[in-house]
Amino acid sequence: MTDATKTLCPYCGVGCGLEVSPPAQPGKATNRDSKGTPIWKVQGDRTHPSSQGMVCVKGATIAESLNKDRLHYPMMRDSLDQPFQRVSWEEALDRIVQRFKTVLATQGSDGVCMYGSGQFQTQDYYIAQKLLKGCLGTNNFDANSRLCMSSAVAGYIQSFGSDGPPCCYDDLELTDCAFLIGTNTAECHPIVFNRLRKYHKKNQHVKMIVVDPRRTPTAEAADLHLAIKPGTDIDLLNGIAHLLMRWGYIDSEFIEECTNNFPAFAEVISHYPPEVVAKICGIEEREIEIAAQYWAESKRVLSLWSMGVNQSSEGTAKVRNIINLHLMTGQIGKPGAGPFSLTGQPNAMGGREAGGLSHILPGYRLVKNPQHRAEVEQAWGLTPGAISPNPGRTAWDMITGLETGDVGLLWIAATNPAVSMPDLVRTKAALMRSPFTIYQDAYYPTETAAFAHVLLPAAQWGEKTGVMTNSERVITLCPAFKPPVGDGRPDWEIFAEVGRRLGFADKFAFKNSAEVYAEFVELTRDRPCDQTGISHERLHQEGPIQWPCADSSINNIDRHNSRPKVLDRTPKRMYTDFRFNTPDGRARFGAYHSRGLAEPADPNYPFVLTTGRLYGHWHTLTRTGRIDKIKQMHPNPFIEIHPRDAVGLGITDGELLEVRSRRGRGRFPALITKAIAPGTVFVPMHWGSLWADQAEANALTHPEACPDSLQPELKACAVQLLPV
């Protein structure tokens, strides 16, 4: 391929490498979409260590989204009942700065909120943190990662002393047993699953356990599918631990030398014999025994999880219970073994590194830690005490802050909360009450644009240069390969411009994104996510690099092999020395009894609704809803229902079902299938009001959240079903 740019797929956290080349190249036919429009050519990058040339349908068709329904220029209006008027950047920025000054003067800095996105590049995240948490002194920055990975973050911090997935993708091909819980990896992280599936098929001794209430394509591939009732994960995990303990398959030396709090955990799991767990989880005792047997017989167990675990009112406890199994068996810090969260968004990892949630600061630091605040204040040239010691508003707290009038300015960027937030009726009513909402996005229209006073056109993937970190901590440079559409600007440049106009010119004097990254990596020095050995220049010359990387002469990725791999020259796994990031270096067991679902089924709402994603679509359809091939693959929303329940309701395949929860309702054609258990139904979360009538999954869901991670339980709620 000539003139190809190496970059990263901007959809999911697998982080596949792509090569992108212009539509027209000398001596080659022009590349066109299905309608004959010239489009950029995209193919997998064989030299990328994480994906080795593989891509799924989303990555393969990404170029088709580049020019469709883009927001071309800033627009404004005084109230939500007025039409937007095109304005210049000057006019838009003047209005924004004026509003900032008014809110800061009348409500203080906590009257300002920004809701960002795992679609941001690390530079976007970093500049937003510097503006809000540093210059303005409010921690009211949260990202859609709150709805996605914050339970994993909280679980890692509580168990290991810091965030950071300890494993790498090579572990997929080194394990003896893959334990997949709350993850439909085949559809949601397809290239990770491809690697695991190929290895599993080739190696008879390798076991795959899938824990999921639905019989998903992932479950179809498993040696053992545990179709537990929604909300019983902790019981199952305690049950497996109980058997490992009873059979003596624990690593006593590791527990003794490397962990704390094992006695409390041992006491809890003593209450979970298989006969008790089987009843709670709705599975056979024998199935629990087989799962425990696979764990016991495997030298190397790799656990993978994503939203089915995280999006829960006890998400942190679930994550810690997965980690508990690894700690009690010493299955961590070794090839093929460990707890491995699969990140949802392409750069949620970079966001976590840059401090992109309301309770954290750059370099895996915590808002509540005085030393961490002082370190960041010093790096940013701020007066001591400039950073607030209080965690800011989470995503959902921003909605409630609009309800109470405590939020005077809401800035939403690169995300679509009018589809993805829980309890959409309440969310939209709150957004309607917002005194001033800035919405910054690459696309128009979106559902959230309807709630904005100012629309700012953002440059998107391929139109700006920055870095992203994938689930295995590999950082890839994503260079601009085309100019922005219309007047679009990179997100970080917009934040920096507002910072300069608010009087912080010296803090935002960056000439380019390489300088932003260079400043950011200094804040990772001697931290678990140390990237001080990495720069744009190195990434450009050498390709992707995995952190930790404090040495600019070491790159642990072997590019001389036909199949590039992360090498052992630097630790490609965390905790290989079995020392953790806690003050005493020991990992901590968590001890939990399950509380179950926040809203279980009851006589009035007798079904449990679960939500999830489909192979081709991405989140709220902002991109994939505009790609013909993917629309054909998944044309409409639907509700999966078991045949027995369909008979009970007197409905046939394709008939409309009205689904009601305590908060809202929707109408979905029935897809009758034994893939779902009786008493449970499934709706994909992708469709918002722009794409389908009354088919919003999140009109039904509730915002009850995990008390530790504050991640809402988007995965399950109680509903009633009525034939239409």
**In one letter, which amino acid is 241?**
A
Given the complex with ligand SF4, which of 117 and 394 has the nearer CB atom? 117
Coil/strand/helix, residue 511: coil
Nearest to 288 by CA among 354, 174, 365, 211: 211
Residue whose CB is less far from ligand SF4, 8 or 211: 8
Cβ closest to ligand SF4, residue 346 vs residue 533: 346
Give the CA-trace dihedral at 616, 617, 622, 625, to 10 degrees. 70
- DSSP label at residue 168: -
Q: Which is nearer to ligand SF4, 141 or 305 (CB)?
A: 305
Touching ligand SF4, residues 12-51 (CB under 6 A)? 12, 14-16, 51
Query: Smallest distance from the beta carbon of 166 to ligand SF4, in angstroms?
Result: 21
Residue numbers 88-117 binding ligand SF4 by CB under 6 A: none
Task: Please state the closest distance from residue 8 (CB atom) to ligand SF4, in A.
Answer: 7
Q: Tell me whether residue 14 or residue 255 sits nearer to ligand SF4 (CB atom).
A: 14
Residue showing tokens 């934040």: 495
Distance from C-alpha of 502 to C-alpha of 136, rounded to nearest angstrom: 9
The tokens describing 402, both together, are: 């609009």
> What would the 3-class secondary structure string for 405-469 be?
CCCCEEEEECCCHHHHCCCHHHHHHHHHHCCCEEEEECECCCCHHHHCCEEEEECCCCCCCEEEE
Q: Which is nearer to ligand SF4, 31 or 694 (CB)?
A: 31
Closest separation in Å from C-beta 60 to ligand SF4: 7
Residue 11 near ligand SF4 by CB under 6 A: yes
Q: Are 17 and 5 in contact (CB under 8 A)?
A: no
Which residue lies nearer to ligand SF4 by CB, 58 or 507?
58
Applying CB under 6 A, which of residues 22, 49, 59, 350 lies at the interface with ligand SF4? 59
Whole-angstrom distance, CA of residue 677 vs CA of residue 627? 32
- DSSP letter at 159 equals H
**3-class DSSP assignment, residue 42:** strand
Q: How far is the CB of 622 from ligand SF4 (least distance, A)?
A: 14
In the block, which residue shows the tokens 């639907």? 638
Residue number, 361 or 545, with CB nearest to ligand SF4: 545
Among positions 165, 190, 213, 333, the unique one binding ligand SF4 when judged by CB under 6 A: 190
In angstroms, what is the minimal distance from the CB of 11 to ligand SF4? 3
d(CA 320, CA 327): 10
Q: How many CA atoms lie within 13 A of 102 on its CB side?
A: 11
Residue facing ligand SF4 at closest CB distance: 59
Tell me how far, at minimum, the Cβ of 192 lies from ligand SF4, in Å: 7
The 8 Å CB, 24+ separation contacts for 568-575 are 570/546, 572/168, 572/170, 572/546, 573/166, 573/167, 573/168, 573/171, 573/333, 573/334, 573/335, 573/338, 574/160, 574/164, 574/165, 574/166, 574/333, 574/528, 574/548, 575/160, 575/166, 575/332, 575/333, 575/338
Which among 609, 610, 612, 608 has a CA at the least distance from the CA of 686? 612
Cα–chain-centroid distance for residue 140?
19
Tell me which stretch binds ligand SF4 (CB under 6 A): 10-18, 86-94, 96-104, 669-677.
10-18
Residue (191 or 398) nearer to ligand SF4, CB:
191
Residue numbers 644-683 binding ligand SF4 by CB under 6 A: none
Q: Is 461 in the site for ligand SF4 (CB under 6 A)?
A: no
Residue 521: which of 509, 538, 535, 537 has the closest Cα? 535
The one among 103, 114, 147, 191 contacting ligand SF4 by CB under 6 A:
191
**Smallest gap, in angstroms, from Cβ of residue 374 to ligand SF4?**
38
Select the span of 52-60, 179-187, 595-603, 708-716 touching ligand SF4 (CB under 6 A): 52-60
- Residues 150-189, mask of contacts with ligand SF4 (x by CB under 6 A): ----------------------------------------
In this chain, which of 42, 56, 360, 614 binds ligand SF4, going by CB under 6 A?
Answer: 56
Sole binder of ligand SF4 in the list 9, 178, 186, 209 (CB under 6 A): 9
Neighbours of 79 (CB within 10 A): 6
Comparison of 250 and 468: residue with beta carbon closer to ligand SF4: 468
Min dist CB 56 to ligand SF4, Å, is 3
CB of 224 to ligand SF4, least distance (A): 25
Q: Please report how close the Cβ of residue 527 comes to ligand SF4 at its closest, in angstroms.
A: 26
Contact window for ligand SF4 (CB under 6 A) among 55-63, 364-372, 558-566, 619-627: 55-63
CB-facing half-sphere around the CA of 87: CA atoms within 13 A: 20
Collapsing DSSP states into helix, strand and coil, what is residue 624? helix
Of 41, 48, 58, 536, the residue at the interface with ligand SF4 (CB under 6 A) is 58
Distance CA 361, CA 622 (A): 29
Q: How far is the CB of 218 from ligand SF4 (least distance, A)?
A: 14
Question: What sign for the dihedral angle of Cα 660, 663, 666, 670?
Answer: negative
- Give the nearer residue to ligand SF4 in terms of CB position, either 191 or 714: 191
Binding positions for ligand SF4, 396-455, rule CB under 6 A: none
Pick from 20, 42, 55, 456: which binds ligand SF4 (CB under 6 A)? 55
Tokens 């009942």: give the residue: 81
Total of residues contacting ligand SF4 (CB under 6 A): 13
What is the binding site for ligand SF4 (CB under 6 A)? Answer: 9, 11-12, 14-16, 51, 55-56, 58-59, 190-191
